[in-house]
Amino acid sequence: MRNRLRLIVMLTATLAVAGSASAQIAHPTLRPSRPARGLFGGGLGDLEQSLIFGASVGGGYDRAEGGRISSGPDLPTTVTPPWTGSHGIAMGSLAYSLSRGSVHAGANVDARARYQEGRRGSLNAIGAGGNVGWEIASRTSLSASQGFTRQPRNIQHFYGGWFDAESTPTTVFDLSGATSLGDYTTSQSAVSFQQGFTDRISLNAGYSHHRYFGSPGDPTTDSRTQTAAAGLSYQIARGVRFRIGYGHTSARYGSNEPVDYGGLVMDGGLAFDRALSLTRRASLSFATGLTGARDELGKTHYFATGHATLSYELGRSWTAALNYRRGVDFNQSFGQPIVMDMVSAGASGDLSRRIQAGTGVAASWGAIGISGGAGGYDAYSASAWLRTGLTRELAISVHYLFNHYFVDDSRSLPFGMEPSSDRHSIRATLDLWLPLFTRARRPDASR
């Protein structure tokens, strides 16, 4: 025990680091046997390879108030047409996954289109992403991910843009939350390395790069963000780890007169990867940290950060989750960092073998900018959905969404984005889930 403590002190003094500083918002980890298989999209079993095609077509109705919008620098504010009226929607996706021996990989392509009555043209979005992981040795692994998108600005910006290297990026947001007719392009890359020294001590190091391109004629929101971080974790007991770490972030916004931000990122805390009680139904993870961000005047501001996730399994298929996160997000399109608190909760599962349902709520609040007097914002959303399986490949879905956001100072927003919105949206779709290729894992195959 004394030798283990000595090793921990030596490594911490050398690296002053811990787990990845650019972790995504935490999501509950479900056991392989959950959720229970339903009629639609279920029953494939343990696969080595799969290629799945998905598509949805349908329509719906939006109800919203007209917003006030800035047309450009030193130009008067104008009133935009309301997002009220019927719309048609079409979506298509293709997802590939591979898990063979020490290598796993995934890739996806997602395209969406939405035609709104009373507006010219349509809203379109397209994205692609991929990831690969390699278990080089029993204690050594390497992961990398890459994603691209082209889509309208979306309320999702107010809920953070964190991403990691260990999962295929979710590239395209729901077009029901579009806040502007203007498009933007993103490129996000991440790589991480894990090395175990003993059964309890391991090192994690990572690098991420995020690039944002605004609409033509809007150079102020062109941005680049880079983060490098590394850290140590110590397994206290089975399913319980302690971690501590350090990293650095640098960000540049604008192409004509760029503004630079940057600073240190530290995180640490306990991570629970097992049930908290005598049952196997509840799990909790959390971590705390500190972010130092340098503003455009060269002054460094420090912010306490952290995240926590509580999930609970209900019955055979239902899972409820509660998430909280506080952080400084450099990976967004507002032309400067955003300091945010976010809380979300939701539940989903099967009502019967044919019927699936889910609901969720989320709230986010904070400031756009890190200097004193930065303008604040708040955002709320609520959603609910119900899906009825007609066959294993076909289903009918109904989805409801309400979203709200308000920004104190519209000058902090990209040109063309409304400073406030309250919108109700409901839609019905016919959904197709079609396995184009599957290969079951051999009974003697390693995992």
CB-based burial of residue 279 (10 Å sphere; 0-12 exposed, 13-18 middle, 19+ buried)?
A: exposed
Cα separation of 415 and 425, whole Å?
Answer: 24
For residue 52, what are the contacts with CB-CB under 8 A and spacing of at least 6? Answer: 94, 95, 96, 433, 434, 435, 436
For residue 242, what are the contacts with CB-CB under 8 A and spacing of at least 6? Answer: 233, 234, 236, 268, 269, 270, 271
| Mean pLDDT, residues 303-319 taken together | 86
Which is more confident, 264 or 4?
264
Question: Which of the four pLDDT bands, split at 50, 70 and 90, describes residue 389?
Answer: very high
Q: What angle do CA 315, 316, 319 make, to 5 degrees?
A: 65
Question: Which of the four pLDDT bands, split at 50, 70 and 90, describes residue 1?
Answer: very low
Q: Bin 298: left if φ > 0, else alpha if -120 < ψ < 50, else beta.
A: left
**Alpha helices (H) along 89-161:** none
Please say whether the beta carbons of 349 and 358 come within 8 A: yes
| Mean pLDDT, residues 75-80 taken together | 48
CATH topology of domain 2-440: Porin (2.40.160)
**Domain-wise residue ranges, the chain:** 2-440
Please say whether the beta carbons of 132 and 100 come within 8 A: no
Please say whether the beta carbons of 27 and 241 come within 8 A: no
pTM to 2 decimals?
0.80
Cα separation of 18 and 24, whole Å?
Answer: 16
pLDDT at 430 over 90: yes
pLDDT tens by residue, 172-200: 888 888 887 778 888 999 999 999 999 89
CB-based burial of residue 237 (10 Å sphere; 0-12 exposed, 13-18 middle, 19+ buried)?
A: exposed
Q: What is the pLDDT at residue 3? A: 43
Cα separation of 181 and 218, whole Å?
Answer: 13
Cα separation of 146 and 131, whole Å?
Answer: 6
pLDDT at 35 over 80: no
Cα separation of 147 and 169, whole Å?
Answer: 6
pLDDT at 207 over 90: yes
For residue 353, what are the contacts with CB-CB under 8 A and spacing of at least 6? Answer: 38, 39, 389
Cα separation of 213 and 220, whole Å?
Answer: 10
Q: Which long-range contacts (CB under 8 A, 24 or more apart) does 405-409 make?
A: 405/155, 405/158, 405/179, 405/377, 405/378, 405/379, 405/380, 406/377, 406/378, 406/379, 407/368, 407/375, 407/376, 407/377, 408/375, 408/376, 408/377, 409/368, 409/375
pLDDT tens by residue, 348-384: 988 988 899 999 999 999 988 887 667 889 999 999 9
Does 35 sit behind a cis peptide bond, omega within 30 degrees of 0 on the bond before it? yes
pLDDT at 45 over 90: no
For residue 95, give Cα distances in angstroms to 55, 145, 437, 447: 12, 15, 11, 21
Please say whether the beta carbons of 194 and 245 come within 8 A: no
DSSP H/E element including 8 = helix 2-15
Question: Quick count: other Cβ atoms within 10 Å of Cβ 59?
Answer: 16
